[in-house]
Amino acid sequence: MENIKEETIHHTAMKLAEEIKNLSIYKSFYSDVQKLVSSPSVKKEDFKQTLQQAMKEKGLDTKLRNTVFHWVRTQNKQNKLDPLTSLSKASAQWEKRIHKSLNSMCSDLETSLAKIRSQSEQEELADKWNELSTYSLDLSKYRPVYAPKDFLDVLLTLSGYVPFTKEDEPKWEFAHLPLQVKTLDQLRKIYQEWANGEPLLGVNPNMPSTVPGFATLEAERIGLGERVAVLGYAPVIQEYLKKGSPQCLRAKLWSQVLGADVKQQQIIYFNQLKKNVLEVDLMIDKLIFKDVQLTASNDDQYFVFEDLLYQVMLCFSRDGEAARAAGASALRVAVKGRHAPDCLIAFPPSGVIPFHGFTMYATPFCYLYDDPVQLYFMFRAFYMRYWHRLHYISTHPQGIVSLCLLYERLLEANEPLLWIHFRNININPIRVVFKWLMRAFSGHLPPDQLLLLWDAILGYDCLEILPLLALAILSFRKENIFQVNTLQNVDAVLADLSTISVIPLLQLALMKS
Amino acid sequence: MNPEGKKMAASLYGRVNAPTERCRVSFCTDMEKSVLMSNFERRGWHQVGPDDEWNFYWASTQTCRNLFSVESGYRMNDNQMINHFPNHYELSRKDLLVKNIKRYRKELEREGSPLAEKAEVVLHGGQVVTRYVHLDFIPVTFVLPADYNMFVEEYRKSPQSTWIMKPCGKSQGTGIFLINKLSKLKKWSREAKAPFHPQLSKESYVISRYIDNPLLIGGKKFDLRLYVLVTSFRPLKAYMFQLGFCRFCTVKYDTSVTELDNMYVHLTNVSVQKHGGDYNSIHGGKMSVQNLRLFLEGTRGRAVTEKLFAAIQWLIVHSLKAVSSVMANDRHCFECYGYDIIIDNQLKPWLVEVNASPSLTSTTVNDRIMKYKLIDNILSVVLPPEGVPDVRWNKVPSFEALGNFDLLIDEELLEKEDSTNSTSRTSKNNKK
């Protein structure tokens, strides 16, 4: 037994040693280690010991550990095979539909998908880069390609792609999809700290601390958080985030967990994306402008950050890394005005055709970073780890289909009366919460509450908290829902979440009654 | 959710409780604003005219002055209450505010109070000046034409700085302009004295050093509107409303000379910004103070954020102390002030002005909700637990009655604490 274990560890180590050479940090890391070896602190006689010691002192040890941690995380996920290949067909058809409608919008507006910007246009855009809200564009004819509601309608037709649907199940439910989702009891095992009723930030920061030397829970969390941040080990920080981060440490801790800190290399990369925005006019740029205007600019929590968001969202559309993470298939489009051989580009490079509200995946980070580059890389890291799962069709356990199914099952099992009420008034219960799930509640919860929720997403590294919160909110407002019987009125009951305290509500739902 | 959980949740998300007072209170008001009327109606009060028997009058400052004037001969009884102090202008007129604060500092200095400590500071323009360490919370200000010579002396010390001129008796940004050259001021004064502008010559102005390094968020300038409720000046009892807001300019901040006359860059007043092309009627350029705090804690850290908010409370308390000796402390009165504060990029707050009748017009849905709560909370703080105005009440509201107000200062309670030597008492004002 021991032997087998040793062997697999050895095998993983060999694989890691091979693959680490392909990672982006390898080159600079290798040269840092070489420099260290030639320094006087590393002795030839006791090479291994002194090198390890020196690496610890220089912080290279932490860097290596975090790299391994991130690498292992990606390995786990990639090895899982898609159990339902039939959904990929649905996904491909949906993407085809989006591209088709984009093309027809293009021909209606007599514009092209991609073209070189004129010199004067480039100059104007560069000039107004920091205040793009003043960059005048006529967007009156541009409409978002689709909204969460349209996406839901597509998801509700998925049954058509699955054979052997049982006769007695309504076609519009997710229940017939042969996907595994957790029960509330299984969730309790994951969110163990919450289920055990341990003190969490976001309930009452003035709660007395159980640790000697700290007056309040908040003081205790800040004290611990500062130590964890100095240590810098991603898995330790992730563990820390389970019980919530104080706002003053969040920016640092989040970027440490995701390995998204900004160095010279990232600044160069961002400027490269910016250059591409200035040079090439993609038709979706207007859709991005439109989306920022429709969402953030009209929101009293985010309007201040409008100009930052234009920059971030435009650059994101040019980022091929995002498409790779999501496994998205982009169109190949010729750039009008550019000559072969490099006139063909992926359209858009990010693979994301913005839908109504896409900007909301980025807005909450404005409360953590006021530098566009930091904001950008944090948003991108979250997108590549989580958000792409919320708007692509897949059978991934963290994908939107599984989350919808989880919500349905949780509601049926834990709020049977509400379930029956929805049946009686003939409303599919997913309809009233879908936009929350698809946007990870961004724009629906006040920013302080939203950031606490996203702490939990990072801390437990999963999105199941979203359907659980949807359930908890419905459960909290159920008396009011029982009083109404139209979709419009249910929506009205659930419209204002400004008084919701996320953490206590979730903890109540997770604690055994 | 189980019943226990529900109980817990209900206490966590406490709704505004239905008022218990059911006895009839008669109210009178000059302004039938919906946030006022709906609050009065919810409490079951009935409306009467100004000549009838009223218990509670929500009046304009003018009505209040008339009522208290010697000529009116009106005497209020023990069960009457009104929403202004007779001489609120000691705080709300720009020139008098400055005069009172200057006098307050001098008095403290004469007493040898440590509060009046002075030290040399380096302005960000480079020159060294002597300032009060703890009481330097209003920009250097002079009243014109009276202090003209003093102004010129100060101006010469840093001729490159910008100054802002405001008429003393006007509000909402009217008549305000910026100057960066003495010649411009001279030209203005000549024109003001010209025979065809006789009305201008009578008016006095304040001229203040312009805060030209404001804190910007998203590249835009903003100021804070905070609500402060005073129920007594001697002893001083004051409360601060948690739900203040930031008012943003719609265009990027720009100190270049060419933009000096563009008031959309410099003035944050909603009444000014509303006419700008970029005004958004959904949020009205307003962001909550809680979100400002969240942003600052997230991007600048906790210590500096706490320090800023403590400095804001300090500023408010001392501006009130500065006028407490001259205010007519009538027990029938309370007043809710709108404090306008600008934060500079060193995170230091500056008091710009105090408004004695802050606008109760709602510009957005959230604005309406906030102002409704403001009035509701004001009523529950100023009224005794029974809900009927009574000047014999000790004006110590219960913790629950405070709602979204935090206690800023209660000198009476402080004195009692001192005399009983108890140090354990914790007020709601303690940091959260």
Residue B61 pLDDT grade (very low, low, confident, very high; cuts 50, 70, 90): very high
Q: What is the pLDDT of residue A167?
A: 56
Q: For residue A222, with 0-12 CB atoms within 10 Å meaning exposed, 13-18 middle and 19 or more buried, which class applies?
A: buried
Say what the pLDDT of residue B92 is. Answer: 93
> What is the pLDDT, as a whole number, of residue B12?
43
The least confident of A73-82, A340-349, B218-227, B235-244 is A73-82
**pLDDT of res. A495:** 93
DSSP state of B214: B
B window 347-376, beta carbon within 8 A of A: 364, 366
Which one of B220, B283, B297 has the shortest CB-CB distance to A247?
A: B297
B218 to A247: CB separation less than 8 angstroms, yes or no: no
Residue B7: what pLDDT? 43
Higher local confidence (pLDDT), A444 or B125:
A444
A93-107, A166-180, B102-116, B311-325: least confident range: A166-180
Looking at per-residue pLDDT, the higher value among A366 and B416 belongs to A366
Q: Are B244 and B226 in contact (CB under 8 A)?
A: yes
Count Cβ atoms within 10 A of the Cβ of residue A147 and give its class: 0-12 exposed, 13-18 middle, 19 or more buried. Answer: middle
Position B285 pLDDT exceeds 70: yes
User: Average pLDDT, whole number, for chain B?
Assistant: 85
* Ranges of residues in chain A whose predicted pLDDT is under 70: 1-2, 76-86, 159-172, 328-330, 340-341, 513
Q: Cβ of A301 and B291 within 8 Å?
A: yes
In angstroms, the separation between the Cα of residue A275 and the nearest Cα of chain B is 22
pLDDT at B19: 47
Q: Residue B391, Cβ neighbours under 10 Å: how many?
A: 16
List, for residues A222-274, the tens digit of each pLDDT value.
Answer: 999 999 999 999 999 999 999 999 999 999 999 999 988 899 999 999 999 99
Q: Which residue blocks in A109-207 are alpha helix, DSSP H? A: 119-127, 148-155, 184-190, 192-195
pLDDT in the model for residue B430: 44
**How far is the alpha carbon of A454 from chain B, nearest alpha carbon, in Å?**
14
Identify all chain A residues contacting B291, using CB atoms and an 8 Å cutoff.
Answer: 301, 367, 446-448
What stretch of H or E contains A282? strand A280-282
Average pLDDT over residues B394-405: 95
Query: Which ranges in chain B are annotated with CATH 3.30.470.20?
Result: 216-432
Chain A residue at shortest CA distance from B364: A300
* pLDDT tens digits for range A395-413: 888 999 999 999 999 999 9
pLDDT over 90 (residue B231): yes
Contact yes or no for A508 and B8 at CB 8 A: yes
Task: Identify the contact set of chain A against chain B, taking CB-CB distances under 8 A.
Answer: 130-131, 133-134, 205-206, 222, 246-248, 250-251, 297-301, 303-308, 366-370, 446-448, 451, 475-476, 499-501, 504-505, 508-509, 511, 513
Q: Residue A129 and residue A125: Cα distance in Å, rounded?
A: 6
What does the pLDDT look like over B142-178, one tens digit per residue? 988 888 889 988 888 888 888 998 888 776 777 788 8
Strands (E), B183-249: 205-209, 216-217, 220-233, 236-241, 245-248
List, for residues B343-375, the tens digit of each pLDDT value.
Answer: 999 999 999 999 999 999 988 888 999 999 999
Which residues of chain A lie closer than 8 angstroms to B286, CB-CB?
A: 300
CATH value of B216-432 in 1.10.132.20, 3.30.470.20, 1.10.3470.10, 3.40.50.740: 3.30.470.20
| Local confidence band at B255 (pLDDT 50, 70, 90 cut-offs) | low
Buried b vs exposed e over A33-65: b needs ≥16 C-beta within 10 Å?
beebeeeeebeeeeeeebbeebbeebebbbbee
Q: What pLDDT, on a 0 to 100 scale, did the predictor assign at position A160? A: 63
**pLDDT at B224 (0 to 100):** 96
Query: Are A93 and A324 a contacting pair, CB within 8 Å?
Result: no
What is the spatial distance between Cα B374 and Cα B354, in angstroms, rounded to a whole number? 17
Q: Tell me the ipTM for this assembly.
A: 0.89
Residue B270's pLDDT is 66
Tell me whether strands B236-241 and B220-233 are parallel, antiparallel or unpaired: antiparallel
Q: Measure CA A264 to chain center.
A: 24
Determine, for residues A304 and B217 on separate chains, whether the beta-carbon distance falls below 8 Å: yes
More confident call, B49 vs B283: B49
Residues on chain B touching A369 (C-beta within 8 angstroms): 298-299
pLDDT score for B2: 47
How distant, in Å, are the alpha carbons of A21, A41, A55, A490 from that of A34?
A: 15, 12, 11, 64
The arithmetic mean of pLDDT across residues B189-198, rounded, is: 59
Mean pLDDT for B409-417 is 91
Find out whether B180 and B260 touch, Cβ atoms under 8 Å: yes
Instruction: Inspect the interface and report whether the beta carbons of A304 and B287 lie closer than 8 Å.
Output: yes
The side-by-side arrangement of strands in the sheet containing B205-209 is B141-144, B205-209, B163-167, B177-179
Would the pLDDT of B23 be above 70? no
Q: Do B1 and A509 touch (CB under 8 A)?
A: yes
Mutate to test the interface with B, among A134, A255, A300 (most CBs of B within 10 A): A300
Over residues B63-87, the mean pLDDT reads: 91
Find the mean pLDDT for residues B269-298. Answer: 84
Q: What is residue A323's predicted lDDT score, i.e. its pLDDT?
A: 84
What does the pLDDT read at residue B6? 44
Tell me if A73 sits within 8 A of A325, measured CB to CB. Answer: no
Token pair recorded at residue A221? 């969390």
Contact flag A447-B219 (C-beta cutoff 8 Å): no
Please check whether residue B307 touches A, CB under 8 A: no
Asked if the Cβ–Cβ distance from A367 to B294 is below 8 Å, we say: yes
The 8-class DSSP code of residue A244 comes to -
CB contact under 8 A, A205 and B364: no
